[in-house]
Structure 1
Amino acid sequence: MPKATLTISSRNYSSWSLRGWLICRMADLDFETEILSGDDAASRAELLHLSPSFLVPRLRHEGIVVWDTLAIAEYLTETYPAAGFLPQETAARAHCRSISGEMHGGFVNLRSALPMNLKAFHPNFKVFNGARGDIDRIVTIVDDCLARYDGPFLFGERPTLADAMYAPVCTRFRTYDVKLPPRAAAYRDTILRWPLMTEWAEAAAHEPDEIEELDMEF
């Protein structure tokens, strides 16, 4: 029997649920996934709208309850230090924490204009100026990290907390056909090919289609 339970909302629409799930998998945590759901589309949509009140993603582990993606990551870093959420070198660790925090608290225009939807594809989607500034900043972050740490992930050869935080944005870049410079495009493709991401996407493909497009947790 799994030692932990991770409560999430939608796999297809919830970027924060994806981040929490990636973090738990990266820690090699023995957990089961509990999905908030209802008996019909209306109740499911209501749960998604109210999800901040349900505190998801939420991890229950050995009598401890922790919510918020970064809080889950910090807890698992303390509990499973070998998980490697942060780079070894001090400056790189600080850098990883900084860009992870920037994703946690920022990029609101992008979240609003390009809601996560793994099943959708919108070729030649028109990205307006508010979201464009967020995209440009993310491209700068990715370019800087790959130049400093040689990729293919943001801090080198293996994924870290930062990759879990930026992974949902990579799905948005694909969904909305966002044109990216070569280095950022290569990083997007690396993330989308990451086995944990393909596993999540396969599960998302089986969710009901009748849920409204929502990105509820920013």
Structure 2
Amino acid sequence: MRLIIGNKRYSSWSLRPWLALAHHDIPFEEILIPLYRDGSKEAILRHSPSGKVPTLIDGETTVWDSLAILEYLAERFPDLALWPRDPARRALARSISAEMHSGFIGLRNELPMDLDPPDPGGAHSDATEADIARVTAIWRQCREAAGTEGAFLFGAFGAADCMYAPVAVRFDRYGVPLDPVCRAYADEILGLPAMRRWVEAGMAEPWVLTF
């Protein structure tokens, strides 16, 4: 398996499938292409028909888009149970993952993925505050339902956690206040050994985007 990703400091979409692979110790080759540089698009197009990262190449199979890769991994490695086995909980996990995939524009624009944001403070717009409130409501709903089954959204670590991991990073780096339930969940994500490896590597990258 090969996973083509962008800068670890900035690429939230790359983090999602990378975390699924790394957390579960699935062997893969990482190919990192720095974004927004001369030749970046051409380099990505050599691997991905969309010209975007991430892209997973597994033999003759190429999968692009974070959520599509997570779905592929769930089918490729069913024993990992990346989605909950219970149909109702699986439907909820897929719903909140799709919601993250397609929404939260205010949050994305005002709190962009950056492991070392130049201006982490400041007030947020109403749209971003609404996004923060919605994310934390999702986290509370899932954690309360999971109870003592585990520390993640559906108990065991899964695809939904991968989808929300970059948000945990954003909340931490931008100093977003969290209630105890959400703080505990974010800390679990940030404390994963694979997550720590990603952050350490991202902070050591030489490429800094100025926009």
Superposed pair shares fold, TM > 0.5: yes
Give the stretch that moved more between structures: 117-126 or 76-85: 117-126
What is the deviation of 1:124? 4.1
Matched with 2:177 is 179
Letter in 2 for 1:154: L
Letter in 2 for 1:43: D
Give the structure, 1 or 2, with the largest relative contact order (CA under 8 Å, sep 6 or more). Answer: 1
Is the CA contact 1:28–1:83 (under 8 Å) kept in the aligned structure 2?
no
Confirm whether residue 55 of structure 1 aligns to residue 55 of structure 2. no
Matched with 2:101 is 104
Identity rate of aligned residues, in percent?
Answer: 42
Letter in 2 for 1:155: F
CA distance in 2, matches of 1:210, 1:112: 18
Change (3 A) 1:198 1:121: farther
Confirm whether residue 131 of structure 1 aligns to residue 128 of structure 2. yes
What is the deviation of 1:149? 0.6
Confirm whether residue 31 of structure 1 aligns to residue 15 of structure 2. no
CA distance in 2, matches of 1:45, 1:78: 31
Confirm whether residue 153 of structure 1 aligns to residue 152 of structure 2. yes
What secondary structure, in the 3-state scheme, does the structure 1 residue paired with 2:3 have? strand
What secondary structure, in the 3-state scheme, does the structure 1 residue paired with 2:38 have? helix
What secondary structure, in the 3-state scheme, does the structure 1 residue paired with 2:181 have? helix
CA distance in 2, matches of 1:42, 1:102: 30
What is the deviation of 1:171? 0.6
Is the CA contact 2:41–2:51 (under 8 Å) kept in the aligned structure 1?
no
Is the CA contact 2:33–2:40 (under 8 Å) kept in the aligned structure 1?
no
Is the CA contact 1:17–1:56 (under 8 Å) kept in the aligned structure 2?
yes
Confirm whether residue 43 of structure 1 aligns to residue 42 of structure 2. no
Matched with 2:205 is 207
Letter in 1 for 2:109: S
Letter in 2 for 1:54: G
Runs (5+) with no aligned partner, structure 2 = none
What is the deviation of 1:182? 1.4
Q: Which residues in structure 2 correspond to 1:68-79 (within 5 Å)?
A: 68-79=65-76
What secondary structure, in the 3-state scheme, does the structure 2 residue paired with 1:66 have? strand
RMSD across aligned positions (CA):
2.4
CA distance in 1, matches of 2:40, 2:129: 28
Letter in 1 for 2:116: K
What secondary structure, in the 3-state scheme, does the structure 2 residue paired with 1:54 have? coil
What is the deviation of 1:177? 0.7
What is the deviation of 1:46? 7.2
What is the deviation of 1:44? 7.4
What secondary structure, in the 3-state scheme, does the structure 2 residue paired with 1:60 have? strand
Is the CA contact 1:11–1:203 (under 8 Å) kept in the aligned structure 2?
yes
TM-score by length of 1: 0.86
Is the CA contact 1:45–1:211 (under 8 Å) kept in the aligned structure 2?
no
Change (3 A) 1:52 1:79: closer
Is the CA contact 1:5–1:61 (under 8 Å) kept in the aligned structure 2?
yes
CA distance in 2, matches of 1:106, 1:95: 16
